[in-house]
Amino acid sequence: MKNYKSKEELLLKKIEDTRQKMLKTSTLYPLHSYEVVTISVELDNLLNEWESLYGKIEKQKF
pLDDT single digits (tens) 13-37: 999 999 999 999 999 999 889 999 9
* Non-local CB neighbours of 19 within 8 Å, separated by 6+ positions: 43, 62
Q: Where are the domains of the chain?
A: 7-59
Does 58 score more than 60 pLDDT? Answer: no
User: CB–CB of 40/31 below 8 Å?
Assistant: no
Burial class (CB in 10 A: 0-12, 13-18, 19+), 6: exposed
Q: Look at residue 24 in the predicted model and tell me its pLDDT.
A: 94
- In sequence order, which ranges of the chain are alpha helices (DSSP H)? 7-28, 34-54, 56-59
**Separation CA 37–CA 26 (nearest Å):** 9
* Reported pTM: 0.75
